[in-house]
């Protein structure tokens, strides 16, 4: 008998990508076959982000659009999983005719049953108790040579703007033994560059193993060569972790350290629990301990009550620190969060103007930083065929910069030495000179 086929379309952060890989494993084990071809699919699953309203609107639009496939294929099922499903899954089931099932972030083990239910036109309940770590499930990675390894789920921080603690539940760390065995296996399967994932990796704690200890243990595994991690919270990044980063060769010279704002007033109202001075001290410590470290960040503008002066403090701090890259966001009110009810919500027009200023500033800084790379020889992990030219490949440096260069696609998954000769936007151009 032919196996039913499913596809997954993932939007959002690396955590969602990693979750989709868990789902691919669960459904494959249950007898379904994964396909990337939507025309071939009997089940199309969307896994989507809800951090900002825009992400949510996009997936709702896409589900409605893909629903037209049902005219030609009557038994096609369409499902929505992940953060949006967790937040408003029941509402969407009522609102979108073509949506057949939903499953929250901790319900993936039940997906085979949820799908069987949906075939009978029955609707399963959304679950709201969060305790799942998918401890024993080895993600089925379909693409590329980088492995995302989830080390913790959920978040206890309740930053006042953020929906994540409501849709992913309380923070829980995965057993370090399960993490080590997953990383080792990934390395043996050819994933030499791994990224440890959690909303707040610096508060990882399992028994006596904290994040610094975990990094040391993973560094000892011979099957992998590069270790990355996201996301670090400035209030929890310890000297111990900075020292491990400085001392362990395999830990990449890169940190993603969301700053969010340069105004102490706004940071406090965001419930971030650090000040601008603390953030600056961390940047100094990192740069003193790891001189070539690349620092990237998230910055938000237009948070309630952000005055022009507050905004300028953010702008000036970005100018001072000179991040290698900044993910810039305009504040998006999320239903149920504390900030949604704050006074002095900022006009959309002002939010957009401020966002554009931050984007323009970072573009200049990134280009300047990337131009400084010209002439350097870097070790690149080859990841993909270039999107623009199939005779070129793209890869990543230890400090997380993308390099494009002419090379055979057989080099994907290997390390090569590349000499940088140009920087275009946030892409470096290089020439291979030694294997």
**Which of 12, 165, 262, 430 is the binder for ligand SF4 (CB under 6 A)?**
165
Tell me: does residue 158 bind ligand SF4 (CB under 6 A).
yes
Closest to ligand SF4 by CB, 114 vs 197, is: 197
Could you say which of ligand SF4, ligand 5AD, none residue 233 binds, taking C-beta under 5 to 8 angstroms by partner kind? Answer: ligand SF4
Nearest-approach distance from CB 181 to ligand 5AD, in angstroms: 29
Question: What are the CB-based long-range contacts (under 8 Å, 24+) for 65-69?
Answer: 66/38, 66/98, 67/96, 67/97, 67/98, 67/99, 68/98, 69/38, 69/44
User: Binds 32, which of ligand 5AD, ligand SF4, none (CB < 5 to 8 A, cut-off by type)?
Assistant: none
Least distance in Å: CB of 214 to ligand 5AD? 22
Distances in Å between the Cα of 90 and the Cα atoms of 80, 103, 124 are 11, 10, 10
Please choose, out of 32-40, 125-133, 158-166, 380-388, the segment that lies near ligand SF4 by the rule CB under 6 A: 158-166
- When asked if residue 233 is in the footprint of ligand SF4 (CB under 6 A), the reply is yes
- Rounded to a whole number of angstroms, the minimum distance from the CB of residue 291 to ligand 5AD is 26
Helical (H) or strand (E) element with 417:
strand 415-424
The least CB distance from residue 171 to ligand SF4, in Å, is 8
Contacts of 85 (CB under 8 A, 6+ apart): 48, 92, 102, 103, 104, 126
Residue numbers at the binding site for ligand 5AD (CB under 6 A): 51-52, 161-162, 258, 260, 298, 300, 329, 331-332, 334
Residues 6 or more apart in contact with residue 169 via CB below 8 angstroms = 105, 106, 129, 130, 131, 153, 154
The 10 Å Cβ neighbour count of residue 421 is 14
User: Considering beta carbons, is residue 52 or 141 the nearer one to ligand 5AD?
Assistant: 52
Q: Is 155 in the site for ligand SF4 (CB under 6 A)?
A: yes
What is the β-pairing status of strands 5-10 and 77-82? unpaired
Site for ligand SF4 in 329-388 (CB under 6 A): none
Residue 118 contacts which entry, ligand SF4, ligand 5AD, none (Cβ below 5-8 A, type-dependent): none
E-assigned strand segments in 287-391: 294-301, 325-330, 377-385
Contacted by 157, from ligand SF4, ligand 5AD, none: CB < 5 to 8 Å by type: ligand SF4
Q: Does 200 bind ligand SF4 (CB under 6 A)?
A: yes
My answer on whether omega of the bond before 237 falls inside 30° of 0, hence cis, is no
Residue nearest to ligand 5AD (CB): 298
Q: CA 18, CA 168: separation in Å to the nearest integer?
A: 14
Question: Based on CB atoms, which residue is closest to ligand SF4, 332 or 384?
Answer: 332
Report residue 192: phi and psi, to 5°: -90, -15
Nearer to ligand 5AD, 213 or 306 (CB): 306
Give burial (CB, 10 Å; 0-12/13-18/19+) of 410. exposed
DSSP state, residue 87: H
Q: Which residues bind ligand SF4 (CB under 6 A)?
A: 155, 157-159, 162, 164-165, 199-200, 233
């Amino acid at each position: 008998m032919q196996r039913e086929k499913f596809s997954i379309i993932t939007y959002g952060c690396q955590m969602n990508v990693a979750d989709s890989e868990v789902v691919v494993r669960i459904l494959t084990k249950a007898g379904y076959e994964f396909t990337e071809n939507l025309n071939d699919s009997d089940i199309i699953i969307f896994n989507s982000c809800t951090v900002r309203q825009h992400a949510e609107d996009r997936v709702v639009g896409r589900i409605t659009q893909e629903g037209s496939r049902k005219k030609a294929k009557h038994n096609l099922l369409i499902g929505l999983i992940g953060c949006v499903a967790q937040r408003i899954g029941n509402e969407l089931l009522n609102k979108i005719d073509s949506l057949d099932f939903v499953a929250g972030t901790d319900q993936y083990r039940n997906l085979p049953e949820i799908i069987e239910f949906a075939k009978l036109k029955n609707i399963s309940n959304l679950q709201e108790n969060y305790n799942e770590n998918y401890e024993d499930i080895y993600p089925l990675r379909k693409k590329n040579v980088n492995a995302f390894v989830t080390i913790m789920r959920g978040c206890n921080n309740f930053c006042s703007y953020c929906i994540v603690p409501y849709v992913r539940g309380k923070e829980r760390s995965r057993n370090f033994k399960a993490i080590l065995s997953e990383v080792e296996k990934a390395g043996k399967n050819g994933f030499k560059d791994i990224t440890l994932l959690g909303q707040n990796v610096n508060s990882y704690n399992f028994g006596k193993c904290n994040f610094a200890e975990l990094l040391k243990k993973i560094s000892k595994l011979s099957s992998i060569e590069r270790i990355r991690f996201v996301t670090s919270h400035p209030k929890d990044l310890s000297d111990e972790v900075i020292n491990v980063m400085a001392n362990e060769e395999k830990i990449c010279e890169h940190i993603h350290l969301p700053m969010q704002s340069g105004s102490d007033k706004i940071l406090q109202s965001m419930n971030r629990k650090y000040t601008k001075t603390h953030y600056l001290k961390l940047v100094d410590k990192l740069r003193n301990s790891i001189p070539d470290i690349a620092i990237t960040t998230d910055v938000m503008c237009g948070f309630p009550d952000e005055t022009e002066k507050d905004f300028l403090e953010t702008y000036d701090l970005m100018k001072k620190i000179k991040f290698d890259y900044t993910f810039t966001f305009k504040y998006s009110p999320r239903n149920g969060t504390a900030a949604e009810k704050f006074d002095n919500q900022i006009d959309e027009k002002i939010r957009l103007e401020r966002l554009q200023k931050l984007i323009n500033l970072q573009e200049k800084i990134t280009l300047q930083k990337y131009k400084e790379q010209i002439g350097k020889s870097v070790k690149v992990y080859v990841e993909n065929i270039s999107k623009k030219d199939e005779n070129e490949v793209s890869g990543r440096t230890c400090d997380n910069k993308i390099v494009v260069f002419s090379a055979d696609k057989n080099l994907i998954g290997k390390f090569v030495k590349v000499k940088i000769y140009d920087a275009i936007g946030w892409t470096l151009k290089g020439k291979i000179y030694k294997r």
